[in-house]
Amino acid sequence: MDVLILGGTRHARALAQRMVDDGVDAVTSLAGVTSSRRPLPGATRVGGFGGVDGLVDFLRENQVKALVNATHPFAGSMTTHAASAAAHLGLPLLRLQAPSWRTLPESGEWTWVADHDEAARAAAAVPGTVLLTVGRQPVPHYLPPLADRTVIARCIDAPDGPLPPRWTVLRDKGPFTLESEKPF
Ligand SMILES: NC(=O)c1ccc[n+]([C@@H]2O[C@H](COP(=O)([O-])OP(=O)(O)OC[C@H]3O[C@@H](n4cnc5c(N)ncnc54)[C@H](OP(=O)(O)O)[C@@H]3O)[C@@H](O)[C@H]2O)c1
């Protein structure tokens, strides 16, 4: 294999298509955390590698020549592992990432937070229905501060465990449009 793409984003999908079009021997890797996956262009593999050591073994065994980290900006562990494994093996590593929303003109009016706990507290301080779009896994961070609030949790897969009575799960998958979000 010439190129391993660490995927899970639309940028990774677009890159995989380019690789297919250009005849590059590339494989896209997915974490396998969501159940409803659209087929990707080209070859894929699914599931964690088992940390940095597992990724190093995979890259070595498959004689990968270059690694592309096209994971989501919030996928911090995979990004760290990719950097460590590439450095260990002396492999070229490309980071493919969408531009930050901070570059948008209206971003100055937004509340910026450091993590999910801070986001949950900030959302709890504002009245009205909360549209929660962080995905399934971080939902536990939002349960205590928003337990008594009306919350629409939009996720690809339903969160684990019981949710407070005023919470509704909306199972849906992006990309989403402004028009589709206005009713919330
Ligand atoms: N976090 C988000 O908001 C978000 C949004 C959209 C898409 N995604 C995509 O969802 C996936 C998981 O996100 P996350 O936030 O759970 O990431 P993470 O915290 O960085 O990853 C957790 C673990 O999942 C495995 N993993 C993650 N991405 C992988 C990939 N592309 N191929 C194989 N294994 C992978 C790795 O397991 P091992 O240590 O066992 O190798 C990693 O240590 C990523 O691929 C990301 O691009 C995430």
C-alpha 31 – ligand 1 centre gap (Å)? 5
> 50, 73, 95 — which closes off a domain?
95
Identify the burial level of 15 via C-beta atoms within 10 angstroms of its C-beta, where 0-12 means exposed, 13-18 middle and 19 or more buried.
buried
Mean pLDDT (the chain, rounded):
94
Q: What pLDDT shows up at residue 37?
A: 66
* pLDDT tens digits for range 74-113: 898 999 999 999 999 999 999 999 888 999 999 999 999 9
Answer yes or no: do 71 and 20 share one domain: yes
Residues 60 and 134 reside in one and the same domain = no
**Are 81 and 8 within one domain?**
yes
Quote the pTM value: 0.83
Q: Which atom of ligand 1 is nearest to the CA of 135?
A: 3
In the reported structure, the alpha carbon of residue 134 is separated from the centroid of ligand 1 by a whole-number distance in angstroms of 14
Classify residue 103: in a domain, yes or no.
no
Domain holding 73, by residue range, is 3-95
| Whether residues 91 and 117 fall in one domain | no
Residue nearest to atom 26 of ligand 1 (CA): 31
Looking up residue 81, the CATH number of its domain turns out to be 3.40.50.20
Evaluate the CA torsion angle 100, 106, 108, 113 in order and state its sign.
negative
pLDDT at site 118: 98
Amino acid of residue 76:
G
The residue behind tokens 């597992």 is 54
Same domain membership, residue 158 and residue 114: yes
* pLDDT score for 140: 97
Ligand 1 centroid from CA 71, angstroms: 7
Q: Are the CB atoms for 41 and 17 separated by under 8 Å? A: yes
Whether 119 maps to a domain, the answer reads: yes
Name the token pair of 32. Answer: 């396998």
In a domain, 104, yes or no: no
Q: For position 57, what pLDDT does the model report?
A: 98
pLDDT average, residue stretch 119-146? 96
What's the total number of domains in the chain?
2
Banded model confidence at residue 36, pLDDT cuts 50, 70, 90: low
What is the average per-residue pLDDT within 41-45?
96
Instruction: Give the pLDDT confidence score for residue 174 in this predicted structure.
Output: 82
* 91 and 113 belong to one structural domain: no
**Minimum mean pLDDT among 15-19, 99-103, 148-152: which range?**
99-103
Q: CA 65 to CA 103: how far, in whole Å?
A: 33
Contacts by 37-46 with C-beta closer than 8 Å and gap 24+? 40/7, 40/13, 40/16, 41/13, 41/16, 41/17, 42/16, 42/17, 44/7
Using 50, 70 and 90 to split pLDDT, how confident is the model at 163?
A: very high
Query: What is the SS3 assignment for 13-47?
Result: HHHHHHHHHHCCCEEEEECCCCCCCCCCCCEEEEC
Q: Tell which residue, 65, 36, 67, has the closest CA to residue 49.
A: 67
| 59 Cβ below 6 A of ligand 1 | no
Query: Per the domain annotation, does 102 fall within a domain?
Result: no
* 98: helix, strand or coil: coil
51 lines ligand 1 (CB under 6 A): yes
Which of 63, 95, 127 is a domain's end point? 95
Q: Decide which of 49, 69, 95 is a domain's last residue.
A: 95
